[in-house]
Chain A
Amino acid sequence: MSEMDEIVKEFLVESNENIDQVDRDLIELEGDPTSKELLGRIFRTMHSIKGATGFLDFSKLGAVTHAGETLLSLLRDGRLTLNAEITSGLLSLTDVIRNILSEIAVKGRESDTDHTGLIETLMGLQAGVRVDIGSTRSILPALMNSDAPMRKPNPANVTSPRESTSQPAPRPTGIVDTPSVSGQIEASLPNESELLPNEFYSQSLDSVSIRVDVNQLDMLMDLVGELVLARNQILQMSSHQQDPDFIASSQHLNLITSELQERVARTRMQPIDNIWNKLPRLVRDLTTQCHKKVQLQMRGKETELDKSILEALKDPLTHVVRNAIDHGIESPEMRLAAGKSVEGSLILHAFHENGQVNVEISDDGAGINLDRIKQKAVDLKLITLEEASSMADRDALGLLFIPGFSTARAITNISGRGVGMDVVKTNIEKVGGTVEIENRPGLGTNIRIRIPLTLAILSALIFTVGETVYAIPQQDIVELIRLDEMAAKGQINSVQGVMLYRLRGQLLPLVNLDAALNVTSAKSSNAGRTAVVLQAHHRQFGLVVGEVADIAEIVVKPLGKHLKSLPIYAGATILGDGRVALILDVLGLARRVSIITDVQTEDATAPKTKMEGPVISLETLLVFEDHQERVAIPLSEITRLEEFPLSALETTDGWDVVQYREEILQLISIPNLSEEARLSKRSRVQVATSSDKIQVVVCRKNGHQFGVVVDHILDIVEHKVARVRIHSRSGHETAVISGRVTRILEMDGLVRDMLLPNPSAVVMEV
């Protein structure tokens, strides 16, 4: 009984794979309709499935494959030439076969679905040569609608002699040369001598690979990890030994172990083509449905990825391709009107870069219409009209990642049902990857997916804090900064306990790892320490750690259930000396120290709830006081904090300016943001007379550098901000921060209102 199950299981796995291959071959065949090799391969697959159905008693599957096989034999013998209808018919045959296979996989038997319509269609297609063309006509329209043929039962056909495969015909699975069960089949069966020599070759290729359970590979991987540790210990021992034989042996062990480790890691790698190979069929179906012409190009098919990552990539990739064809590439008429070639181009490109795999999906379609996205977002009440008008392109593209967002004008069969880019993003991020959209309006869209090579092994920076060893994956690290003398040079500003490091003109928030982890550290000063600059989403921050020990290849192991809830750890690993090191999760860490906001990432897991009510986010804000009002600027907008003597103030064209780094820095004051000042477009800095110095927050926005003069800087706050819009035409938002009502300056609006309408301001910038 169980042996039978095993056979069925094997049959299913094999047939599914073979059917996928048939799909690809059929598409390829369209471009080269007479290819003997392709036809032979398709025929062989169909034939071996049919052969197995007799043995395993799957009569329906047998009937449909038989019909397909007969049609294929005509094609192969050159008595029929492949055309679009035949291809569609054969493709719908593969769909039906796939359906039946999945039915068998789930229920263990075939369902009662009637497939006579399809059989009739296939017979009609072969009748195209045998009898006359007239009989096919009635079937062809039905073919254009892919699932219609299956709904046309024809009782007369059910008992046709072609169904003879249902009678038991014991024979081994997958062997081409089998005794046929009816004379009719005999006529269409391949003659063994007709098989091309290279078919034998490809068959022998199959036999050199075997199926292995992935768990087996994982266990092997673990064991190899063990072996590596044992090897390291032996090597350490051998360094104290004099015995030359022992030293030679341990060197040998060293080499073999390294080689073994590499090989085992490679067993889990598969070429990206394993998921790409489904795309030609998808593209063909989509273009037919959308009445578009698209040429699909795939480069870097052989790029290898870990199997689990490949799995995670499958759905997002399909989605992006659908999008590109449905939304991106225009109809042939529109393309002609836009001066492009009738045929759109969709290019998939996979390549390795910086230890990561890049997958680029680019089309030469219309690109993304940002106005339409904004409009849609306004309609969905995600943003207000004001926000839409001031929104940067990059932010507008970010709207695409909000759950339920779709700009398709009409909900088509293909896309536009509101599950969209957010799913793509979530799935990619789950395996540690990122998604970027590059939009070239009118010219196309380029989506770049970056994913780690493997989940299992990664290169990491190892360092110690207190007694514990930590690791940070290298892909998250931007650079390392030694902090010793720098601190003395005053490159670290400390504002209310928050450290800011001046890194090439930018303010980089510094976070002490011991503080973030609530660990008391012996060292209180930053001297001699290292700041690891980390990238968390689009924010950077410096993590101050002790001595950096090493860079090592580590194997990520999951944490037990007691520690699963700690988002700052991505897992743990065992180092070469047997110690356990904790792997820091940069995103979790950034969230813990409030470097990044939670909005984008959490939206995916908790959709919809965030759309109502005030936007709640974690944000780092610089809070200052100006004329008894509390004002805050997001830290991300600030480049520097400066202090100028009052005497440095100069005036030009009604503006207050200071000379700053060989530029003229235009100064503005907060009270000037009131309505009157906005109307007059002229502002003078009003400085508290008691001081002979002015505090200036230097900001840069859209290429404009300007200074905001403030009375004094209060604090840097990092906490949950519930923004409430109060009636104000300036578009600024107000929030309660540390118990006080605080206005949050919207830099986009500020630049537009204060600087752009005044031509002199632009001149000064130059």
Chain B
Amino acid sequence: MSAIPISAGAPVRQTGKTMTDTVLHATGLVKEYKRTRAVAGVSLAVGTGERVALLGANGAGKTTTLLMLLGAITPDEGEVTVLGHRLPGGRSRAMERVGFAAGYLPLPDRLRVREVLAYFANLHGVADPGPAIEAGLERFRIAHLADAMAGELSSGQRTLVGIIKATLHRPRLLVLDEPTASLDPDVAHRVRVGLEETCAADGSALLVTSHNMTDVERICERVVFLSHGLVVADGPPADVARQFGRANLEEVFLHLASEEKI
């Protein structure tokens, strides 16, 4: 694996896939907040069915990058194309086949779990979401929560519902921000297994951020490290660890985090 240059507008890693089987293609993304350059030239491509982790310490630019890739933040520079739809104009069409969940986000209040799931399934164009909801709840082993109020769930249960919500419409790209943050080992295991099953069954590509390197090594076949708003490494986990002369991703993470100003 060759190292990606640490410079603005770093080239998109060649995954051996053509544009037609690329679900996400972003080039030269830049975002500044007042005096802070959060993202300084990120380029990224994710192929069909590929499982990619976007990693970096706090303040590395992960969440801003994700939100630009999803059209919620407009980049100052650069372009994003999702499933052939260029953002921001094609945002709605693109998001029809994208699922998103974040471990830190609450669910809409005053709805039961089943209603939350039906709400998002409808937003994604699923007119009769009943069977998909039952299957999702079974897959993540929370069928007993179907009629619970979403606002009364534990954080782990909420995360599981969030992930199910993101997968009901069988997305071609699943984007998860910190899905296993503050989960106990059992729930984190359920998330990993459920995601693997979902991606295998639906052929969904996965783009995930996480601070849990063990999860990342288990779930993802490719990791992209951000530091100071730039891509500093991109490749299979073992190759990236080798590139930095470290034994594993955890050590790479700690090395890069020590250089990050937070």
A, B co-complexed: no
A residues adjacent to B (C-beta < 8 A): none
